[in-house]
Amino acid sequence: MRLTSFPRALAVMALALAARVAQADVVTQFDGSRLLIVGDEQPDTVTLDPTPGGILVTGSNGTLVDGGLAPVLVSGVQRVAFELHGGPDRVTVNAVDLPDGIGMRLGDGDDEAVLNGAFLGKTKIRTGNGNDAIWVFDTRAARLYAQTNRGWDSVVVHDSWVPGDLQVSTGSDQDYVEIVATEVGNDARMRLGNDDDDLFLADIAFDDDTRLDGDHGDNGLFFAGYIWFGDELDIHDFANDWWW
Ligand SMILES: [Ca+2]
Ligand SMILES: [Ca+2]
Ligand SMILES: [Ca+2]
Ligand SMILES: [Ca+2]
């Protein structure tokens, strides 16, 4: 009896493991103000939406939230932290109000983060190796840091207001950074890392110190429309003939 049931048990376990591996899972933990969303090595796809009762956490493209297909509603959230690990993860944050901001660690893989119409405290988005994209639209963030590390990354910020510091660091490989119709109340610092990177600024006001650093490589710096630098301006490692 044991000889036959043991392989069967193994087969059942193998099936269960296969099902787990194929499925992206995120798990939420809430401490009364901070919501932590932890993913796995699979492509986690998560969206935050505002609802009258709080914040709705929805998984899509086969991503389960707390083991289920249904969205999870969390009330009283002040801050959200994402830890999504490897795999091509995608986070969309729509029009939520998070006074203590957002922290995202998307790990390796070709990740994408979209902030759309959000009202946020201090916000930091970090991606790892892989070709990542960070999009920020119509958003207010008390301070905004974006760090994308290796891979061909892009960071695009449109129609946004950052009362504090804006810091963008894109690491090695060829990256693209675009800031349009956006005001930064404090310091703006961009460092595009090794390899040939491009920085495009249009209709911006950077009210305090600005440092634009292309780092190594043949980097391009492009200006269009209204440009205002309120205090010291440092430009490093952009070839002069690429300006304007
Ligand atoms: Ca993942
Ligand atoms: Ca990832
Ligand atoms: Ca990257
Ligand atoms: Ca670079």
144-171 pLDDT, tens per residue?
A: 999 999 999 999 999 999 999 999 999 9
- Which pLDDT band holds residue 69 (cuts at 50, 70, 90)? very high
Does 7 fall in a domain?
Answer: no
In a domain, 2, yes or no: no
pLDDT at 240: 56
The ligand with the least distance to the CA atom of 112 is 2
Residues 218 and 197: beta-carbon distance below 8 Å: no
Residue 55 in domain? yes
Give me the domain span that covers residue 237: 23-242
Judged by DSSP in three states, 174 sits in coil
Please name which ligand lies nearest the alpha carbon of 173: 4
Q: What's the CA-to-centroid distance between 190 and ligand 4, angstroms? A: 11
Q: Which ligand is nearest to the CA of 170?
A: 4
pLDDT at 68: 96
Q: What is the pTM of this model?
A: 0.89
Q: Ligand 2 (ion): which residues have CB within 5 A? A: 89, 106-107, 109, 111
From the CA of 81, how far away is ligand 3's center (Å)?
Answer: 19
When pLDDT is averaged across residues 183-208 and rounded to a whole number, the result is 98
5 belongs to a structural domain: no
Provide the token pair at 28.
């939420």
Q: How far apart are CA 120 and CA 3, in angstroms?
A: 60
Q: Tell me, what's the pLDDT at 76?
A: 97
Question: Which pLDDT score, from 0 to 100, does residue 23 have?
Answer: 80
Size of the chain, expressed as the number of residues it contains: 244
CB contact burial 60-71 (16+ within 10 A = b; e otherwise): eeebebeeeeeb
Q: Is 64 within a domain?
A: yes
Residue 47 lies in a domain: yes
Instruction: Give residue 213 CA to ligand 4 midpoint distance, Å.
Output: 10
Arithmetic mean of pLDDT, 199-227: 97
Ligand nearest to the CA of 168: 4
Mean pLDDT of 104-116: 98
SS3 178: strand
Q: What is the mean pLDDT of residues 127-134?
A: 98
Distance 212 CA to ligand 1 centre (A): 32
Total domains in the fold of the chain: 1
Whether the pLDDT of residue 5 is over 90: the answer is no
User: Residue 6 — very low, low, confident or very high, per pLDDT cuts 50/70/90?
Assistant: low
Mean pLDDT estimate for the chain: 92
- Does residue 8 fall inside a structural domain? no
18 CA → ligand 4 middle, Å: 38
Q: Which ligand is nearest to the CA of 146?
A: 3
Report the pLDDT value the prediction gives residue 1, as an integer from 0 to 100. Answer: 46
pLDDT(136) > 60: yes
Q: What is the CA radius of gyration of the chain?
A: 21
- Token pair of 69 as six digits: 């297909």
Q: How confident is the model at residue 74 (pLDDT cuts 50, 70, 90)?
A: very high
Distance 130 CA to ligand 3 centre (A): 4
Does 3 reside within a domain? no
Taking residues 107-127, report their average pLDDT.
Answer: 98
Instruction: Express as a percent the part of the chain with pLDDT over 90.
Output: 88
Contact in structure between 115 and 139 (CB atoms under 8 Å): yes
